Structure 1
Amino acid sequence: MSFLRLSRLRCLLGGLLLLLLGTVPARAQDDDLLKELEAKVADSTRVRAPDFTQATFKGTHIINSQSIETPGEGTLLFLIQHRFGTLNSGAYNFFGLDQAVLRLSFEYGLTDRLAVGVGRSSQEKTFDGFVKYKALRQSTGAHAMPVSVTLLASSALTTLKFRESERTLKTRMAYTYQALIARKFSPSLSVQLMPTLVHRNFVDTRRDQNDVYALGAAFRQKLTKRLALTADYFYLLPGATATDLRNALGLGVDIETGGHVFQLHFTNAQGMMESLFVPHTTGNFFDGDIYFGFNVSRAFTVKSR
């Protein structure tokens, strides 16, 4: 009798042992599956950082207009802008090469999105300063942004001598406000729109407008690895300025040569800042009133990242 009980007890203990041994791998398998599921859920809910579009334009200027680009943080950009005379000025002036207007400027990136600049143009002996801020950046991924938007505010001071004694410092000032809206449609094509307001404290006649509104457009089409076709155009909104003057038009090419970008262009605008070329362009591009010129820039690292 005791032998039977002992045998049953052994069988019972053996069964419990087998049951315990069988559940260990099952629990381990369940734990592995649970961890794998949690990892998949975490991956699906993780927010991917936005991928910002780079090099919509290769320079901070296109032709006449500024682009959405700014120097990187701690980068100082030295820019030379040069315009010869009109091509239809004849052989006596060597088709404009005997005449020239020059602008020199410095642009500095306070951050990757905020830049300041100063410049001086020989036209009307004008000094200028500006601030550019990248308000929006084109990106893909989470919270994708279809366009880039850079805000520009600039002021200009002419130091040209006038006969009129009333030309005070205030009357020599002009201001420009722009929203630069751009999209890089492909690695080769970039397009930019530029709603523009130019305010002049002083105008020559009552007919002239103190506030001049314009809508600019520009594009860059890459042709080869180092060569691109560019154009920009400013349409003056209806008013006395649009009636009396011309819309600024420019055609050019960008040439990338290592440390700098060399820009060659043809334009009917002699001025090289918004307050000069938007409300003061007189040349008819299609009648040969074309200024040949170039922009060349060089970047210097002032502050290492």
Structure 2
Amino acid sequence: MLPIPHVFSVWALSGPAAVAPPETGRDADVGALEARAAEALEDCSMCHSGGDEGDPAALDLSGPPSSLLGVRSAVNGRPLVVPGKPDESYLLAKIRGDEGIDGERMPIGDDPLSDEAIAAVEAWIAALPPQEDAGSDEGASGTSGGDRGRADGGEGKGKGRGKGKARGRKPFFGTQQAALPTTTTLGKRTLLFRIDHRFGRIGAERGAFGLDVGAIISFQLAYGILDGWDVLLRRTNSRKDWELGTKYLPVRQEDGMPLSFGAYASMEWLRDFEVANEFTGNLMLLLSRLWFDRWVTMLTFGYHFDTNHNPRVIVDRGDGPELVRDRRDTITLGLASSVFLGKKKRWSIDLEYILPVPDGKTPNVFYRLGGDAGPEGLTQVGAWALGGSFRTGLHVFTVIFTNNREIHTNLWAPGGQTDNPFDTPGVDRAINEPNFFLGFNLARRFKL
């Protein structure tokens, strides 16, 4: 029989060995930090949820962050997570927007992660016990994990590893509000497909809030040549108009400037039968400011050439009525604003107003709806729109209530279709009947 002290020695060596010790110290800290990192990356699985290895979104972020250990980027072979070395971890570089990353900062098409979320991921990586050769770039031409590490949709090879100046959020959800171009650009090598749709007049004889009346539609393709420089081509069934445009923003608030400033220019070709001024163009200046990361305002100034496309303009110069070609231009002042709602700012309330500037002369020097081209004494109120937008991933969807059916620049410049809501002496109220329309815009970006 063993002495009592020996019995306790045997129990101390054998008894507890059958029960796993509780997590303490570093293991418990790493587990808690990984849970915080998983919460920070939770929304990333909306796009990165596994799938075809050839798809940039094939990286699976729906699981625990530790599943990224040993996984490399399919684009440049850099390890996503280097235990104990946050600044060598490509995952952190992508969500931080470091210099040298391939493609855009993640999440693409959405607001950057908050400083707290980025700090949570960084703290978890720093707490991981270092592994031998975990961060080595030697032989990194391939990927591990069956190419699970395609963490970005960019191209080319990154140069440099250090932190760069992280970009902020872009001013607007999309490159256009309801009609006005915005100070948001696509980014280098990004393709956009957009559909603009305006239903018929609400209250028309066929009814159904304009859904049963002929619609105006525009299809657009846009491409980001460089950061801040886009080109676009679009086609609408209104007067069979083609518009080729370009937008350049040399000053961008997301790059640390106090505001965004740039210009938009376009040429248009109206191919419909019996249309005047079939070749025309537009020049616009854009200035915006994002306030408190919740509210953006933009002012625009536009000069639009040959905006009266009515082929039957009749003028009486004292010798009787005669048919003339109206070559007047239009000057516009525009205001656009959005307020972003929700914790993640995925929703917005959107406003827009476009004023064709009256000159007060007779005849008017500049053309505008409701000027001397309309019934005597009848004035217009400009073009306005009220809408709401939702952004998810690379999509932006907007619904619109407006008095303006036109989508292309030279067509909306003279003003909206709603008359002054007040009675005009000597003018039949039926002529003043309001014209309101419902519509929507849908845009999808593709990173090439």
What's the TM-score once normalised by structure 1's chain length? 0.74
Matched, 1:253 2:388: yes
Q: Is residue 171–residue 253 contact of structure 2 (8 Å, CA) maintained in 1?
A: no
Shift in Å, 1:201: 7.3
* Letter in structure 2 aligned against 1:231: L
**Cα distance in 2, alignment partners of residues 156 and 274 from structure 1:** 9
Q: What pairs up with 1:115-264 in 2 under 5 angstroms? A: 115-138=230-253, 145-162=257-274, 171-200=277-306, 204=310, 205=313, 210-224=328-342, 225-239=345-359, 240=364, 241=368, 243=371, 244=374, 245-264=380-399
Q: Which amino acid aligns with 1:109?
A: G
Tell me by how many angstroms 1:54 deviates.
2.3
Q: Provide the residue aligned with 1:96 in structure 2.
A: 210
Tell me the residue number matched to 2:155.
none
Shift of 1:266: 0.8
The match for 1:279 among 414, 429, 435 is 414
Shift of 1:147: 1.4
Distance (Å, rounded) in 2 between the aligned partners of 1:139 and 1:157: 34
Q: Does the CA-based 8 Å contact 1:137-1:145 persist in structure 2?
A: yes
Cα distance change, pair 206–184 in 1 and its aligned pair in 2 (3 A): farther
* Partners of 1:73 and 1:110 within 8 A in 2: yes
CA distance in 1, matches of 2:171, 2:239: 33
Within 1, Cα distance between the matches of 2:165 and 2:314? 51
Which amino acid in 1 is paired with 2:437? Y
Following TM superposition, by how much is the alpha carbon of 1:78 offset from its aligned partner in structure 2, in angstroms? 0.1
Distance 2:178 2:308 in 1: 27
Q: Give yes or no for contact 1:88–1:288 (8 Å, CA) kept in 2.
A: no
**CA shift at 1:173, angstroms?**
1.1
1:56 maps onto 2:188 in alignment: no
- Using the alignment, how far apart are the partners of 1:84 and 1:114 within structure 2? 31
Measure, in 1, the Cα distance between the counterparts of 2:293 and 2:267. Answer: 34
The separation in 1 between residues aligned to 2:238 and 2:403, in whole angstroms, is 15
Aligned mates of 1:200, 1:223 — CA distance in 2: 40
Structure 2: any 5+ residue segments left out of the alignment? 1-163, 316-325, 375-379, 422-432
Partner of 2:86: none
Percent identity, please: 27
Q: Which amino acid aligns with 2:267?
A: S
Report the structure number with the largest CA radius of gyration.
Answer: 1
Instruction: List runs of 5+ in structure 1 lacking aligned partners.
Output: 1-48
**What amino acid does structure 2 have at the position aligned with 1:282?**
Q
Compared CA separation, residues 151 and 206, structure 1 to 2 (3 A): farther
- 1-structure distance, mates of 2:232, 2:175: 11
Contact 2:339 2:350 in 1 (8 A): yes
Aligned-pair distance for 1:253? Answer: 0.4
Q: 2 CA distance for matches of 1:79 and 1:266? A: 18
Do 1:86 and 1:288's aligned partners in 2 also have CA atoms closer than 8 Å? no
One-letter amino acid of the counterpart of residue 233, structure 2: V
Change (3 A) 1:261 1:139: closer
Give the TM-score, by structure 2 length: 0.51
Q: 1 or 2 for the larger relative contact order (CA 8 Å, sep ≥6)?
A: 1
Tell me how far 1:258 sits from its aligned partner.
2.6
Q: What letter is aligned with 2:222? A: E
The equivalent residue for 1:36 is none
Question: Are the counterparts in 2 of residues 59 and 69 from structure 1 also a CA contact under 8 Å?
Answer: yes
3-state SS of paired residue (1:131)? strand
Q: Which residue of 2 aligns with 1:66?
A: 181
Please give the alpha-carbon distance, in whole angstroms, between the structure 2 residues aligned to 1:214 and 1:147.
Answer: 22
Take 1:285 and 1:80, find their aligned partners in 2: how far apart are those partners?
Answer: 30
In the TM superposition, residue 284 of structure 1 has moved relative to its aligned partner by 3.7
CA contact (8 A) 1:203 1:210 kept: no
Q: 1:132: how far off?
A: 0.6
Equivalenced residue count is: 245
Distance 1:280 1:288, change over 3 A: closer
3-state DSSP of counterpart to 1:181: strand
CA RMSD of aligned residues (A): 2.4
Further displaced range: 180-189 or 245-254: 245-254
Name the structure 2 match of 1:294: 440
Match of 2:348, SS?
strand
Could you say which structure has the higher helix fraction? Answer: 1
Shift of residue 282 of structure 1? 2.4
The Cα offsets for residues 100-148 of structure 1, whole Å up to 9 and x where unpaired, read as 11000000000111110000001011011101101212268xxx63210
Instruction: Provide the rounded CA distance (Å) in 2 between the counterparts of 1:231 and 1:220.
Output: 6
For 1:257 and 1:96, the matched residues in 2 are separated by 28
Q: What is the identity, as a one-letter code, of the residue corresponding to 1:146?
A: P
TM superposition shift of 1:230? 0.4
